[in-house]
Amino acid sequence: TMKNVYVTRCIPQVGIDLLSQHFHVRSNQQPRKLTRQELLDGIKGVDGVLTSGTDKIDAELMDLNPGIRCFSNYAVGFDNMDVAAATQRRVLCTNTPDVLNDSTAEMAWALLMAVARRVVESDRIMRTRQWTGWEPQEFLGGDITGKTLGIIGAGRIGTSIAMKSRGFDMQILYSGRRNNSELDAKLNARFVDMDTLLQSSDFVSLSVALNAQTYHLIGARELALMKPTAYLINTARGPVVDEAALVQALKSKQIAGAGLDVYEFEPDMVEGLELLENTVLTTHIGSATYATRNAMAVKAATNLIAALKGEMPPDCLNPQVFD
C-alpha cells in the first residue's frame, strides 16, 4: 500500500508530481501558511511531511504524530524544526541546501546595490512625479567598487555572495566558525574576528544560520562598531539582528543604511522601519526565482521519497537516526 504524505505549502507542481509517483499526496491548497490547528489536522495519519520555514515542527507535534518518519523542509534554513527532538524520536529531518546559493547571493547583491545607490528611493520619487530634474547633489550614495565587503557566516551562501564581488574589486573579510580556503585562495580574503569585520567593512552581509548562538548576533553594540558610512545586508534570518536596535542605528545615522530581506517578526517589522528612507525592504525572496523554487521542490520531494523508502536522504540533517 502507498504511503501518505502531506505538503504544507503551495510548492511548484514539479515537486507534487514527483511525490505523486510514490505516495498519496495531500496538500494545503491555500496561498498562506497554515495555523497550528490546520497543520495538526493536515498531517494526521501521514508517514511524511513536506514542510516550510513557516511551520513550527516541534516535539509536541511529533508526539501527536508518531507515525511520521520524516519532515522534509522546503528551505535551507531549519530553525523552524526541533532537529534534536526529531533525532531522539528517530525521525528524519532534511533541508534544501546548495540549489539556492546563487539566487540568495544575487538577492544580497540586489539589496547591496539598491541601498548604496538609493534605487528604490529614487524610483519612488520618479513614479510619484516628484522629480524636478537632474541635480548635482541629489541622491548621492556610497561607492561599491574597491570597497570592503564583510561576510558574517562564510558558508555556502556567504561564499557565493563573496565570489560575486569579483567584478567590483572588493576586499573580502569574513568571520565565522572556521576559515574558508576557497575564499582565501580565490579572493585573497581575510578571516577576522567579528568585531574587526564590523569596524572595517563598508558592507556587512549576514549569512549565518539562526540558532541559539546567532540570535541577536547583531545588536546595539555591534551596530555601534560599524562605520557611519557602512551598510548592513541581511538575507539570512531576521532574529540574527536586534531589529529595534537596527531601527535606532538607522534613525540616528549611526550606519548609512540597510538592505533587508528578512525580519525579526515576519511578516511584521519593528515600528519605524517603514519610515526610514535609508533602507531597502524586500519580502523574504532570497530563493524566489522560478528555477530555484523548482529545484527546491525537486530536492525536498527527493529527500522525502528516500526517507520513506528507508534510505538515507541526500540532505539529511540528522544521519544519527541511521546509527
Q: Which residues bind ligand GLV (CB under 6 A)?
A: 53, 75-77, 100, 286-287
CB 211 to ligand GLV: min, Å: 13
Q: Which of 9, 69, 284, 293 is catalytic?
A: 284
Q: Would you say 161 or 173 has its CB closer to ligand GLV?
A: 161
Maximum alpha-carbon separation in the chain: 73
Q: Would you say 254 or 287 has its CB closer to ligand GLV?
A: 287
> 185: which 3 cell numbers?
585562495
Q: Which of 69, 237, 243, 293 is catalytic?
A: 237
Distance CA(206)–CA(224), nearest Å, equals 16
Residue 55 Rama label (left phi>0; alpha psi -120 to 50; beta): beta
Q: Would you say 138 or 311 has its CB closer to ligand GLV?
A: 138
CB 95 to ligand GLV: min, Å: 7
Burial call 144-177: b when 16+ CB within 10 Å, e when fewer:
beebbbbbbbbbebbbbbbbbbeeeebbbbbbbe
- Long-range contacts for 163-172 (Cβ within 8 Å, ≥24 apart)? 163/105, 163/187, 164/105, 164/106, 164/109, 168/144, 169/145, 170/144, 170/145, 170/146, 171/147, 172/148
Burial call 304-323: b when 16+ CB within 10 Å, e when fewer:
bbbbbeeeebebbbbeebee
Q: Residue 22 catalytic? A: no
Residues in contact with 255: Cβ distance below 8 Å, sequence separation at least 6, in sequence order:
223, 226, 227, 228, 230, 231, 232, 249
CB 10 to ligand GLV: min, Å: 16
Q: Residue 284 catalytic? A: yes
- On whether the CB atoms of residues 109 and 161 are closer than 8 A, the answer is yes
CB 80 to ligand GLV: min, Å: 9
Q: Would you say 202 or 315 has its CB closer to ligand GLV?
A: 315
Residues in contact with 123: Cβ distance below 8 Å, sequence separation at least 6, in sequence order:
none
CB 77 to ligand GLV: min, Å: 3
CB 137 to ligand GLV: min, Å: 13
Q: Would you say 286 or 313 has its CB closer to ligand GLV?
A: 286
Q: Would you say 94 or 200 has its CB closer to ligand GLV?
A: 94
Catalytic residues: 237, 266, 284
